[in-house]
Amino acid sequence: MTRPPRTRPTLEEVAARAGVGRGTASRVINGGEKVSERARLAVEQAIAELGYVPNAAARALVTRRTDAVALVIAESEERVFGEPFFAGVIRGIGSALAQADRQLILLLAQASQRRGALDDYLTRQHVDGVLLLSLHDDDELPDRIRAHGVPVVVGGRRGDAREDFVDVDNVQGAELAVAHLAGIGRRHIATIAGPSDMVAGRSRFEGYVAGLVAADLPVDDRLVVRGDFGQGSGEKSMRTLLGRGVDVDAVFCANDLMAAGALRALSDAGRRVPEDVAVVGFEDAPIAMSTNPPLTTVHQSPEKMGREMVAMLLDSTRTPGVAQPGRMLSTHLVVRGST
Amino acid sequence: MTRPPRTRPTLEEVAARAGVGRGTASRVINGGEKVSERARLAVEQAIAELGYVPNAAARALVTRRTDAVALVIAESEERVFGEPFFAGVIRGIGSALAQADRQLILLLAQASQRRGALDDYLTRQHVDGVLLLSLHDDDELPDRIRAHGVPVVVGGRRGDAREDFVDVDNVQGAELAVAHLAGIGRRHIATIAGPSDMVAGRSRFEGYVAGLVAADLPVDDRLVVRGDFGQGSGEKSMRTLLGRGVDVDAVFCANDLMAAGALRALSDAGRRVPEDVAVVGFEDAPIAMSTNPPLTTVHQSPEKMGREMVAMLLDSTRTPGVAQPGRMLSTHLVVRGST
DNA sequence: GTACGAAGTGGGAACGCTCCCATACGCCAC
DNA sequence: GTGGCGTATGGGAGCGTTCCCACTTCGTAC
């Protein structure tokens, strides 16, 4: 609780040692103009000798900027570290921020965390902006943060959102998948959909329906099962589908993990892929290359999503208050052995 | 570059609205003693009305504390997100810090990062302390940070380290594994070791040798292969081992992923596990439960490691300058189907 | 020789908070 | 009434920066 003693040199000390004023020393540090070569060298030497490092708090206090950006991931560690999607987004965000000379701060919104601690951190101007990655709808965090004047960009659109967001165009991607299946002559196209409380789940299903309509195929409830994006649930859903006794010659799965599960269930049931049943996934995750047969899937780029989020955030720190239109990232189909 | 306009209420404004002095308002916010009920209520109401949030920079400037701790992971995203070990450590760290009311800040030391940006961030008193998770030896980051008076705890001991660290007792764990194999009558115990530039690799090998010696078995170079901790390398190493034409009735693998690869190679080669060859892994990662047969392995607890790191760091912020002795976490063997 | 602009410099003020000291206000004992 | 003590309170000082203005110096044009 007590205040630790100061040991670190201050700018004033640097200036004194260099025989210049505080202002000049500051100018040297901030790459300033209008400093004589002589003064610059003296200051640089003093900095090196004293091991001076600027105090971020003092600087932030006056500049009102920290040059740091928070990425908040509102998912369990299990998911964060299990799904390659997150690694991709983080890579994209990291490289874009590094280019802009901003520090990335990763915050995991954990259950263990005291309620409100995260809000506090984000609103106390520790960071210049917040990137939020959550795949669920019910979070009010972005609104609470915005209320304090901190810019926020959400990755993965929320249900109603008029807010700044970047998302993959799930509807278009799913349409693409269904159009492909219809294009190779399939007429009984089933789907293993994602959870309906997640945007990705809902809109990929929406795209599936739109795709059927576009191909002049009927929408049949018996061809729809809902999973939870896990591999096990894909396997189980596929079994359910087969157990219903309806014709199925193709399945569109809302993500690759469920598609991998479906492939396993099909193989167990003695159905050949793609001859008897064609399978399409969504994401183009690493697993899509290592299934048997390799998975045809809708390619999305998490890295690009990350970079877009950063671009949007930096934009809105430059022009505060001006809401950006949300951005949808298009997808394309990667055809492999499963269709 | 320009300074954004101030819009947020300050403590002074809160105090004015509540009809009290700045000091009293500050006392209320910091849970202070010696405040009358009347003043407390007035201040709390003013805070709510104005939506006041304390400015972290101003506070840090005077208290010299930020109540935030950085966790630096000096690995590629690929590894960080691929190995469940990291998720476990982060979970442990996160919960321990939450209990201590500290914010966890995750920094990934990426290649994309400007050289020095990380150092700058860590030394500019953004954080009260640094937890470093790196499995390689060659990093001087901890020394550089310590030189600026910021406490550091390293997870996974470095080669020479006299510094504060927490590590799993790899030697003891490997000895345990070998003793177990010897105990069930195996006499030709091979090892698929880890890379020699990583402590875990070296010391698990060291433990392997010690285990052989303790069991009165000869150490035979032809029974040693080095992998890189990846599943593919485990498979390849096992093939190498089998190809050498020496008797092998057991394999100790330096981690579970390589053990999983080894199991696959053994199955491909028509060797039965555990009848022909017994296999032991290290880590007790999730994959150990899902191999065929389930893997006997040395259990370590990444969560515990995380919690220990936090405890040590908080200790050294309380008593600065006093180096803590490093802590070794013991392991135990989990026997499953592969032995 | 004077006037003027550009270049370089020093240092006051301010950022928003916590710490701490001086003061005010009871209340009780004498 | 006076003295003394504990409890609340207000506000000055200071944390280490950046910003900006006023000042000096020097070179150039007249």
CB contact under 8 A, A7 and B149: yes
**Looking at the structure, do residues A59 and A76 belong to the same domain, yes or no?**
no
Question: In this predicted structure, which of A2-6, B81-85, B130-134, B313-317 has the lowest mean pLDDT?
Answer: A2-6
CB of A23 nearer than 7 A to strand D: yes
Kindly state whether residues A181 and A158 are assigned to the same domain. Answer: no
> Measured CA to C1', what is the nucleotide nearest A36?
C8
Same domain, B50 and B76: no
B45 and B95: one domain?
no
Q: Cβ separation of B65 and A4 shorter than 8 Å? A: yes
The helix (run of H) or strand (run of E) holding residue A310 is helix A302-318
Rounded CA-CA distance B295/B285 in Å is 10
Position A111 scores a pLDDT of: 54
For the CA atoms of B198, B202, B207, B208, the dihedral, rounded to the nearest 10 degrees, stands at 110
User: How many angstroms is C1' of D6 away from CA of B314?
Assistant: 36
CB contact under 8 A, A106 and B106: yes
Residue A98 has pLDDT above 60, yes or no: yes
Residues from chain B contacting residue A58 (CB–CB below 8 Å): 57, 61
Domain-ending residue, one of A48, A63, A78:
A63
Tell me, yes or no, whether A193 lies in a domain: yes
Boundary of a domain, candidates A19, A35, A63: A63
Does A303 have pLDDT greater than 70? yes
Whether A234 and A312 share a structural domain: no
- Residues A223 and A286 reside in one and the same domain: yes
Distance B33 CA to D3 C1' (A): 27
**Do B49 and B121 belong to one domain?**
no
Q: Which nucleotide is nearest to A9 (CA to C1')?
A: D16
One domain, residues A216 and A97: no
Report the domain count for chain B.
Answer: 3
Question: pLDDT at position A109, please?
Answer: 78
Instruction: Decide if pLDDT at B2 tops 50.
Output: no
- DSSP letter for B135, please: -
Mean pLDDT of chain A: 88
Angle of CA points B255, B257, B262, to nearest 5°: 95
Same-domain status, A175 and A267:
yes
In a domain, residue B338? The reply is: no
Q: What nucleotide is nearest A27 when CA is compared to C1'?
A: D18
Whether B77 sits inside 8 A of A90 (CB atoms) is yes
Q: What is the DSSP letter of B334?
A: E
CATH number at residue A38: 1.10.260.40
Rg of the Cα atoms in chain A: 26
Q: Which residue of B has its CA nearest to A10?
A: B124
Q: Comparing A118-127, A136-145, B148-157, B170-179, which segment has the lowest mean pLDDT? A: A136-145
Question: Which has the minimum average pLDDT: A138-152, B15-29, B99-113?
Answer: B99-113
Cα four-point dihedral sign A14, A16, A17, A18:
positive
Nucleotide whose C1' lies closest to the alpha carbon of residue B24: D9
Q: pTM, whole model, 2 decimals? A: 0.85
Mean of pLDDT values over B169-185: 96
Instruction: Tell me the average pLDDT of chain B.
Output: 88
**Is residue A293 domain-resident?**
yes
Sheet holding B129-133, edge to edge: A327-329, A165-168, A152-155, A129-133, A68-73, A103-108, B103-108, B68-73, B129-133, B152-155, B165-168, B327-329
Using the C1' atom of nucleotide D13, identify the protein residue whose alpha carbon is closest.
Answer: B62
Task: Give the range of the structural domain holding residue B143, as residue numbers without chain letter.
Answer: 68-167+303-330
Do residues B262 and B288 lie in contact, with contact meaning Cβ atoms separated by under 8 Å?
no
In a domain, A217, yes or no: yes
What phi and psi values does residue B97 have, to the nearest 5 degrees? -70, -40
Whether B339 maps to a domain, the answer reads: no
Within a domain: B30: yes
Chain-chain contact of B53 with A123 (C-beta, under 8 angstroms): yes
At A50-97, the pLDDT tens digits run: 989 999 999 999 999 898 999 998 887 777 877 788 888 988 998 899
Nucleotides of D under 7 A from a protein CB: 7-12, 14-21
Q: Which of A87, A112, A149 sits opposite B77 (nearest CB)?
A: A87
Please say if the pLDDT value at position A4 is more than 60: no
Specify if A1 maps to a domain: no
Which residues make up the interface with nucleic strand C when CB must lie under 7 A? A 1, 3, 19-24, 26-27, 33-36, 38-39, 58, 61-62; B 6, 8, 10-12, 22-23, 26, 29-30, 52, 54-55, 58-59, 61-63
- Is the same domain home to B276 and B324? no
In this prediction, residues B95-123 reach a mean pLDDT of 80
- Separation CA A184–CA A220 (nearest Å): 20
Please, are residues A162 and A259 in contact by the beta-carbon 8 Å criterion? no
pLDDT tens readout for residues B220-278: 999 999 999 988 899 999 999 999 999 999 999 999 999 999 999 999 999 999 999 99
Tell me if B335 is assigned to some domain: no
Q: How confident is the model over A203-236, as pLDDT tens digits?
A: 999 999 999 999 999 999 999 999 999 888 999 9
* C-alpha to C-alpha distances, B89 to B86, B201, B305, nearest whole angstrom: 5, 19, 6
Contacts of A64 in chain B (CB under 8 A): 3-4, 6
Looking up residue A124, the CATH number of its domain turns out to be: 3.40.50.2300
> Are residues A282 and A209 both part of a single domain?
yes
What pLDDT shows up at residue B319?
76
Candidates B93, B110, B128, partner chain A, best to mutate (most A CBs within 10 A):
B110
Same domain, B202 and B279: yes
Q: Which residues of A touch B104 (CB under 8 A)?
A: 107-108
